[in-house]
Structure 1
Amino acid sequence: MMEKVDAIIIGAGVVGLAIAARLSNKLNNVLIVDKNASFGEETSSRNSEVIHAGIYYPQHSLKAKLCVQGKEKLYQYCKDRGIPHQRLGKLLVAHGEAEEQHLTKTIKQAALNDVNDLVWLTADELKKSNPALHATAALLSPSTGIIDSHRYMQALLAEIEHNNGQFVGKTTFIKADNNNDGFVVTLNSQDEIMQLHCDYLINSGGLHSTKVAENISDLKKSHIPTLYYCRGHYFSYQGRSPFTQLIYPLPESHGLGIHASLDIGGQLKFGPDTQYIDDIDYEVSPLLKAKFVAAIQRYYPSLDSERLQPAYSGIRPKLEGPNDGFKDFVIQSENVHGLKGLVNLFGIDSPGLTSSLAIAEYVDERLAI
């Protein structure tokens, strides 16, 4: 007899862990697997660790809906479990009249997404509260914050294990064959080929989600989108931070611009930029420093470039290519692809961390367990 589990989640990033935790409260035997040795080794541990407010995304998009819902769920989850986090707030800064008009539009867009707490700050108010900051105006987003993402993922894993679920690392997904009674999933766990039967199969493979989907039998290729790798680099800033809040320029076409963020320990870092790449590569070239200095000095003119050092990079799994406009999260269930018990998640880039608990609820609802 083949060993059977209730659900298999492929990919132990923050979203996969959140889904597994949610399902483990309903199912007796949930398994989450990852090709890496530990959880969250890719996109989930290589980001800004920001809890986003849900300001910019188009109204009614999944990114808008799940970010706003997920933000409050995440703050409550952190509070209930003692996960380090802070509602620092962020300043979205403008330079000149044209950018200030963009701030006005941002207030309207935020309101469409049920984010109604933005506060307009004048140049004089900014000088008093943030003397190192250069801007003619800014929007304060008080519900934006930061989180210790590793501790958050540890808490999700603890919840999974408390509910008799299991995480297995160093385990690569090979294929899944659909039958009338679920899926037969073939895995390579440390060079041992094994097969498990499950009722529910969740593809939360992040950067590898389309490769996973290509190896699910009976899933039509038309349901598998093109995925792009978008690398973002970060530079750390040595010494005491001049800011106590997050500082953001106006958003760019494929990201939120090179912003200033703080981690739970108070370390200041700048990034990410956006660079489309063909292969997974986490290099941070020192040659990027000049671009970072120029971008940062727009809002922090007294930047000491000697204190700015290459830190790390992350790669976002984007559905929009370098010449495309906005693309939403894609969360496919049976009503799209016709395969009962299967959910595919594609293009879960920012605000995936913020949205993770809301995404888990959304997936749970689609499965109708």
Structure 2
Amino acid sequence: MGVFDVETLVIGAGAVGLATARALSMSGREVMVLERHDLIGSETSARNSEVIHAGIYYPKDSLKARTCVEGKEQLYRFCAEHGVAHERIGKLIVASDKGQVAELESIRAKAAANGVEDLKVLSRADVASLEPELNSEGALLSPSTGIIDSHGYMLALQGELEALGGQVVLNTDVVALAVLPGGGFAVTVAAEGEGGEPYVLTCRELILSAGHDAPRLGAELSGAKAPKSYLAKGSYFKLAGRAPFSQLVYPVPEPGGLGVHLTFDLQHQARFGPDVEWVDHVDYRVDPARGEKFYAAIRRYWPGLPDNSLVPDYSGIRPKISGPGEAAADFHVDNFSNHGIAGFVALYGIESPGLTASLSLAQTVLARL
């Protein structure tokens, strides 16, 4: 390890940071994870739909497509081996009018190009027999879509990391990064309490998995080679009462997103969302008025949605690196070939399907390091 305090530092204890730290520890490294909050995975990793995605919609050969399809199977195996609560519940992608039926075949073809070959085309009658309450002219069934206890998953990652000798240090806010003259990195941590002094940790290798804050910190090392960051808030509303469905329900995607979809938690409490609201700061409060726009969207596929049945639940903020009106950016896992800094890997734009892709992204970081 030489003169460094720690061989490998990972900044950010979300699902991807913890999965990466576990993979690094399994490779024999001494690993420490720094997390600014007092709880692991309390930002993007805890504020999402908790869906295990199949890998259907992403562009062919993109990092999102590859790591989602690989990561999905790795995640199911991990959950089974570590007792993490999950359910392979399945998902219907519903065409609510005849004009959308042709889109189902293009979605199926895109999924097949990504290696997702288990989608089943359902007729209107097929859908009616499965989910009588749905308004549908046809649908695709994705049997490999699931749901997961995301916090239970992250606790399992942390437990395995610590069993391998790694550490997770909470309440540790990284405020600055620098490259050391002889190689390696200096990581400045904010002072603790009033009158405290900032302190510096040195490491040989540095992994930046800091979600919203990654572009700002990455720019301190690589300047303009770190992407610009954007914040896209998504609000969720839960259903008062039980939904008459047994699977997740997604409308056929429209320009700008996947639409307002129905997901379940592991207790089968239904929730709808997320919408998209571009914001300039992090604020997780849910505006009840936003739910009014949900009713018309949901009733396209579930006409029986009762009035006044949507209750504000929670919100999440996607750490985007593409802005309003721009095509969605692929995941970035930047290494020496991108920024010219040996021993530094930065993850940018790890939004959905980052939770599903986390174990595969961890292997990608290991390979690029």
Partner residue, 2:211? 206
Distance 1:348 1:138 in 2: 29
SS in 1 for 2:190: strand
Q: Structure 2: 5+ residue runs without aligned partners?
A: none
CA deviation map 1:85-138 (0-9, x unaligned): 111110000022321111110111111101111101111111111011111110
Distance 1:149 1:182 in 2: 33
Partner residue, 1:352? 354
- Superposed counterparts of 1:10-21, under 5 Å: 10-21=11-22
1:196 is aligned to 2:201:
yes
Describe the shift of the 1:76–1:176 C-alpha distance in structure 2 as closer, same or farther (beyond 3 A): same
Partner residue, 2:301? 299
One-letter code of the match for 1:193? Answer: P
Q: Which residue, 355, 361, 364 being the options, matches 1:362?
A: 364
- Superposed counterparts of 1:1-369, under 5 Å: 4-179=5-180, 180-188=182-190, 190-191=192-193, 192-216=197-221, 219=222, 221-367=223-369
Return the offset for 1:257. Answer: 1.4
Paired residues in the alignment total 364
Describe the shift of the 1:203–1:4 C-alpha distance in structure 2 as closer, same or farther (beyond 3 A): same
Return the TM-score normalized by structure 1.
Answer: 0.96
1:28 touches 1:163 (CA, 8 Å); kept in 2?
Answer: no
One-letter code of the match for 1:352? Answer: G
Return the offset for 1:238. Answer: 2.0
Return the offset for 1:28. Answer: 4.2
Q: 4+ runs of 1 displaced by more than 4 Å?
A: none
Return the offset for 1:27. Answer: 3.4
Distance 2:255 2:170 in 1: 36
SS in 1 for 2:291: helix
1:32 touches 1:168 (CA, 8 Å); kept in 2?
Answer: yes
1:234 touches 1:313 (CA, 8 Å); kept in 2?
Answer: yes
SS in 2 for 1:215: helix
Distance 1:60 1:48 in 2: 25
Distance 1:273 1:214 in 2: 30
Describe the shift of the 1:190–1:254 C-alpha distance in structure 2 as closer, same or farther (beyond 3 A): farther
Distance 2:56 2:312 in 1: 29
SS in 2 for 1:176: strand
CA deviation map 1:34-75 (0-9, x unaligned): 111111111110000000000111100000111000000000
Distance 2:127 2:255 in 1: 26
Return the offset for 1:308. Answer: 1.4
CA deviation map 1:171-203 (0-9, x unaligned): 111222212231121112524422222111011
1:170 touches 1:189 (CA, 8 Å); kept in 2?
Answer: no
One-letter code of the match for 1:222? Answer: A
CA deviation map 1:254-287 (0-9, x unaligned): 4321100011111110010111111111121111
Distance 1:28 1:331 in 2: 20
1:87 touches 1:146 (CA, 8 Å); kept in 2?
Answer: yes
2:4 touches 2:204 (CA, 8 Å); kept in 1?
Answer: no
Distance 2:142 2:239 in 1: 23
Distance 1:42 1:189 in 2: 22
One-letter code of the match for 1:150? Answer: H
Compare 343-352 and 254-263 and name the one that shifted more: 254-263
SS in 1 for 2:241: coil
SS in 2 for 1:349: coil
One-letter code of the match for 1:198? Answer: C
One-letter code of the match for 2:190? Answer: N
Describe the shift of the 1:324–1:100 C-alpha distance in structure 2 as closer, same or farther (beyond 3 A): same
Q: Structure 1: 5+ residue runs without aligned partners?
A: none
One-letter code of the match for 2:93? Answer: L
SS in 2 for 1:306: coil
Return the offset for 1:29. Answer: 2.1
Compare 60-69 and 235-244 and name the one that shifted more: 235-244
Distance 1:326 1:210 in 2: 16
Compare 283-292 and 42-51 and name the one that shifted more: 283-292
Distance 2:185 2:292 in 1: 51
One-letter code of the match for 1:275? Answer: E
One-letter code of the match for 1:348? Answer: I
SS in 2 for 1:75: helix
SS in 2 for 1:60: coil
* Identity across matched positions, percent: 45
Describe the shift of the 1:254–1:157 C-alpha distance in structure 2 as closer, same or farther (beyond 3 A): farther
Distance 2:111 2:149 in 1: 26
Return the offset for 1:3. Answer: 5.8
